[in-house]
Amino acid sequence: MLFTCDTRTRTILARVQPAFLDHPRPIAFAHRGGAAHRPENSWLAFEHAVRLGYTYLETDARATADGALIAFHDRTLDRATDRTGTVAELRHREVAAARIGGTEPIPLIEDLLGAWPGARFNIDLKDALAVRPLIRALRRTAAWDRVCVTSFSARRLRAARRLLDRPVCVALSPAGVTRLRLAGRMRRRGGTLARWLALSGAGCAQVPAHTATAPFMRQAHALGLQVHVWTLNQRHEMERALDLGADGIMTDETVMLRDLLAERGEWLTGPRASGQAG
């Protein structure tokens, strides 16, 4: 059930879409660079995705004890690298000695932003310590329009929004997604919901497959939100999400998604990412 929009609500919903989202849809996201093909969040993974034609790269952000912002998912080095220890308790020189999968160095977020100036990065803030280093990285690289900030923590997202110097694409927090789902069952909540959404600054909802139902898609789209579905690694999952109207798909299986979109005439990479990693 969709809400009924009055004139004031329609005005609120007619906000400018973040530049990060101005790409033809559906958007293909290389999750952790495309972890099915190369070590996750490694230079090799991002390079592979860019060569395939991906313009959107998804990664994670954690800060070391001395404030270096790295592209790394886990709280500890143990699973993904040949070293052990908690990232937030280690200095960058110690983390830099670790190798993803035993072979690949862990990139700095700022270096990734600089390596491919034509690419856009979906960055998941994994801890509160990463917020300020991310803001500093965005200031130094002027990558405001090339980044979407997301997190499983509404508190982290609020902290990031308070510190941002310029508008940046932000995804709904899980709490925001729940609010959107519940509001879809109620009438006459459109104005309240739209005003809350405008204050949140969110431009998209990034959700797992079980949340990306047809009613949720309609509700989000009625509010002007894009829906990006994660992390789909089976062809039938990708097809279902696309058929329901997903605006973006995140996958480790970057070759599979590229080929599926090409078959559907929807492989729309836009301007190619450019630059050399170093």
* Side-chain half-sphere exposure of 189, counting CA atoms within 13 A: 15
Token duo for residue 92: 């960058």
Active site annotation includes 73: yes
The CA distance from 202 to 176, in Å, is 9
Residues 6 or more apart whose Cβ sits within 8 Å of residue 194: 5, 9, 12, 13, 223
The CA distance from 104 to 40, in Å, is 10
The residue among 252, 248, 258 whose CA lies nearest residue 220 is 248
Active site annotation includes 31: yes
Residue of 23, 37, 48, 73 marked active site: 73
The CA distance from 119 to 22, in Å, is 13
DSSP string across 124-160: EE-SGGGHHHHHHHHHHHT-GGGEEEE-S-HHHHHHH
Residue of 31, 37, 92, 228 marked active site: 31
Q: Hey, which residues are catalytic here?
A: 31, 73
